[in-house]
A and B are shown apart, each in its own frame.
Chain A
Amino acid sequence: MADTRRIAVTVNGNTYERRVETRLTLGDFLRHELRLTGTHLGCEHGVCGACTVLVDGRSTRSCLMLAVQAHETAITTVEGLGDGDALTPLQEAFREKHALQCGFCTPGILMTLTEFLNDNPQPSAADVRDAITGNLCRCTGYQGIVEAALLAAERGRRS
């Protein structure tokens, strides 16, 4: 019989209680159990970064963490960034700078950069490139992503 546990996880401010198989990854829990499909699963072995979410504020690959390990933690996914139709300054900058095309990698990159810009409000372009080494994008060539991060940082400093 499958090994299951009852878990309580706070995602984007809402607490969900579910009984889950212990082998369920956090990424599959978010998508299949909570139907929060903004988090994308690409490689499912920790290479592409698409599934990045924040666990207690720290960027984490949700394919490399079990849902049971998220018990009593606070998760932020891409659905938790904006407020309704209002985008965050980072998302707004992504739109302006054409930092996405197909959009598959975008949620992971937004979560990665959200943590990064919190820690580094005045990054250089090289810092931004270093921050996103763990996120693969096959459309943009990264240039627009770097420009968007720098623009969001600049606006963050002015506001």
Chain B
Amino acid sequence: MKPGPFIYHDPRSLPEALTLLGELDNVKVLAGGQSLMPMMNMRYAMPDHLVDLNLVEGLAGVTQEEGRLRIGSMTRQRDLEVSADVAAFPLFREALRHVGHRQTRNRGTIGGSLCHLDPAAELPAVCLAAGADLHVAGTGGERTVAMMDFPLGFMTPAIRPDEIVTSINLVSWPQGHGFAFEEFARRQGDFAIVGVAVLLAADAAGAIVRAAIALCGVADRPRRCPTAEALLIGEEASPRALAAAAAEAGKIDAASDIHASGAYRAHLTTVLTERALARAVGRLGRTQ
């Protein structure tokens, strides 16, 4: 198996890459290649032009300043896993253990995962829970898109063909916040049948003041659960409150496919959300 013929471009700068995207037809952007390359090998994707971002200056790397994290879109998933800066946001590390395998994380990038937007992928759900902002550059200039507004539908990100996501920006949750990522997949490293990302923050009296629950694998795109989150606010983290929020999350209209029925996915959503919430509560107040 080999990809169909294409013209290969390896720009060294962002303006150069954007110009190519603006001028060429039937062009694909190559990031880590852990999804696009299989699609090209099997000829599901047959671009005439491939614009490889791997040599573009300044797209990879993590910086942190006063709790503000900037993750370059071409940062490898493996580098996120071991980054001291990302450690202040431990939900990432926990979720990354479920992202493919060591060999694919060595190549795969965060920006590639977000733009590919597989509904079962873990990193879009993490970025959604974290309330990330994506910086996007195009030939017409730069703009910021909230992760909340990024998924438009099944594998359809809010990005034009002549644009590139340049960085993922987020503000760390307060020290001592609770976090957990739970997932069920048939095999370790497979895409999730259901995955749940949870972030919680509580006040000194133990009442929950902030909650974020994001799902992957359940619907046509990653989803937040605003009604379930709202049930938690102001509550003490009692098993009853967690179970009620988990049951609310399970009311989602879950998709059926060859791997699982919608009813099974909805059931898993409730079970895994409750587990994730309980583990996140157990971590509340601990320094990281």
Contact = CB atoms under 8 A, between A and B. Distances in A.
A64 B100 contact: no
Interface stretch (B4-12, B13-21, B229-237): B4-12
A86 interface: no
Given A45-B38, A61-B103, A24 B2 contact: yes
B187 interface: yes
A14 interface: no
Contact of A3 (B8, B41, B106): B8
Contacts of B34: 46, 61, 64
A45 B52 CA distance: 19
Interface string A21-65: 111110010000000000000001110010010010011110111
Interface string B10-41: 10000000000000000000000110011001
Contacts of B102: 59, 112, 115-116, 131, 134
B42 A45 contact: yes
Contacts of B131: none
B52 A69 contact: yes
A6 B7 CA distance: 14
Contacts of A116: 102
A133 interface: yes
A100 interface: no
B103 A49 contact: yes
B54 interface: yes
A55 B33 CA distance: 15
Interface of A, secondary structure class, is mixed
Most B CB contacts (10 A, CB to CB) among A3, A52, A68 go to: A3
Given A45-B38, A134-B101, 18 more contacts: A22-B8, A23-B3, A23-B5, A23-B6, A28-B2, A45-B1, A49-B101, A49-B103, A59-B102, A59-B103, A60-B106, A65-B33, A69-B52, A69-B54, A133-B187, A133-B188, A134-B100, A134-B103
Contacts of A65: 33, 37, 107
A66 interface: yes
Interface residues of B, number: 29
Contacts of A60: 103, 106-107
Interface string A94-138: 000000000000000000100110000000000000110110000
Contacts of A45: 1, 37-38, 41-42
A112 B242 CA distance: 40
**Closest 4 CB pairs between A and B?**
A134-B101, A22-B8, A45-B38, A64-B37
A3 B2 contact: no
Contacts of B103: 49, 52, 59-61, 112, 134
B139 interface: no
B189 interface: yes
A55 B54 CA distance: 14
Contacts of A44: 1, 41
Contacts of A49: 101, 103
Contacts of B177: none
Contact of A23 (B2, B10, B54, B101): B2
A5 B8 contact: yes
Nearest to B32: A64
27 contacts: A2-B5, A21-B5, A22-B7, A23-B3, A25-B3, A28-B2, A45-B41, A46-B104, A59-B102, A60-B107, A61-B34, A64-B33, A64-B34, A64-B37, A64-B38, A65-B37, A65-B107, A66-B33, A66-B37, A68-B8, A116-B102, A131-B102, A134-B101, A134-B102, A134-B103, A134-B104, A134-B189
B189 A63 contact: no
Nearest to B50: A22
